[in-house]
Structure 1
Amino acid sequence: MKKQRAFLKWAGGKYTLVEAISRVLPPGEKLIEPFVGAGSVFLNTDYPKYLLNDINPDLIHLYQTLKRRPKSFIEDARTLFSVQTNSASAFYSLRTQFNGSTDAYERSLLFLYLNRHGYNGLCRYNSSGGFNVPYGQYKKPYFPEQELEFFAEKAKRATFTCEPFQNSFRRARRGHVMYCDPPYLPLSVTANFTSYATQGFSLDEQALLAKKALHASRKRHIPVLISNHDTMQARWLYKAAQITELQVHRFISQNGATRNKVNELMAYFPAGNLAP
């Protein structure tokens, strides 16, 4: 099966890891992703149904809009990828328009534009909830038409929700499979990158996620796979899981020379896990 790229650029996206993730994920009736992000795992697996959740309402509204109105959305989005819209003045004007808009369709179009024209594909908001990623200065931003079409077609199998990750666990049933790609634990105190949604993702939430995964697997027979940085903290949180180690290139750093490989892990909690 040909690998499918997401139509969004996404810090921490799982495109390069989908083979490793797919090798661990068991078959099931439905794949549930509480932190769907750009959706690379969704796009590169083949479950009968999907429940795709994220706490970012702009992301989920975009997915719902693309599922509902694929043709008109793609045609309207195309108009935002032109020479006229690829300048600093146009970008900041459209960013202001996005931040002032309450129309879900307009925000979805502009969210795609900002993602492809903004710096490094970052998704970042200020304390007031305003999108504040700067202009990316790309010569000709790519319009992901084929990727949008593929996503829209596959989205027919998916339900999209925007709620806390705990709710996704409540929706899970025996026969379902869960893949969790939360905001990662920091590699160091100064490397904490949690501003992807307006609120960060605290250590308490990391611990709650691990607890939910263990409970789902042992008590409800729902297998759960979690990705995270390979740190002492992560090893402690996932001590009851089966650990797979990975090395991954990271692209968040502004300094290209420091974009080195970092250690990640996958923590797998199999259904009915009886590990001590």
Structure 2
Amino acid sequence: MKQKILIVVQARMASSRLPGKVMLPILGKSLLARMIERLKMISHEAEVIIATSETPADDIIINEAINISVPYYRGSLNNLLDRHYQAAKLRNADIVLKIPSDCPLIDPRIVDHVLDYFFANQNSFDFVSNLHPATYPDGNDVEIMTMDCLTKAWEQASRELELEHTTPYIWENPQLFRLGNVTWPADLDYSMSHRFTIDYAEDYYFIERVFRELYADNNNFSCDDILNLLTQKPEIYNINAQYAGVNWYRHHVDELKTITSAQTKQAPTKNLQEL
């Protein structure tokens, strides 16, 4: 029987650094819509669902989901593990992908590549990602898990960071789960040097500029296309280069067993620009 693949895109309006970032405009559509557009370009047959919160502020995300004809689930604001589990159960998923909504430049080919690896080794792994360790440019985050794996994490995880970030209980417990990882070819590592995600105003300026540069000629532009663009126009790379390597790990290095201080850095003390 064919397994149902579900891509869960977690999205909310609340953000301490850049509120409402998922609804910022990119070439006439919301950042969230542009990201969903890219996820629908993958070769594998998969359903996408937007998982947001029950907070009234997130009504706008529900309206956007309806506008772009994507199913949605509303759940806990801070317990994203429960939000993912309930969304997956609602849609009868067999395989669940966690992809956060701050990855609007995610390359469909990378999603397919990690899925290919997962299915080629399905009898060997419960969870496969390209994040442990990370080697892809930040913002190409793909985490794949079986429904049984997600269910076990949902039943057993209890720490706040495990609930908030969905998957730490899985990748922090290799004795309980069979873990696989996909790395960038040729032993290259862009994870701390290239930032394609959004958390700050500069990230938005960077992402919007990349879309303006590449989208018209090829709406399915690749991660390699972005890297080539940044080589040709280093001024674009410099827009948000100060935040390269800044990620959520920095708040939990002392709590995480499998993450070191070399895999994160502290954010600059002040944004250079504000929206």
Question: Fold conserved (TM > 0.5)?
Answer: no
Give the TM-score of the pair, scaled to structure 2. Answer: 0.28
More relative contact order, 1 or 2 (CA 8 Å, 6+ apart)? 1
Give the TM-score of the pair, scaled to structure 1. Answer: 0.28
Max radius of gyration: which structure?
A: 1
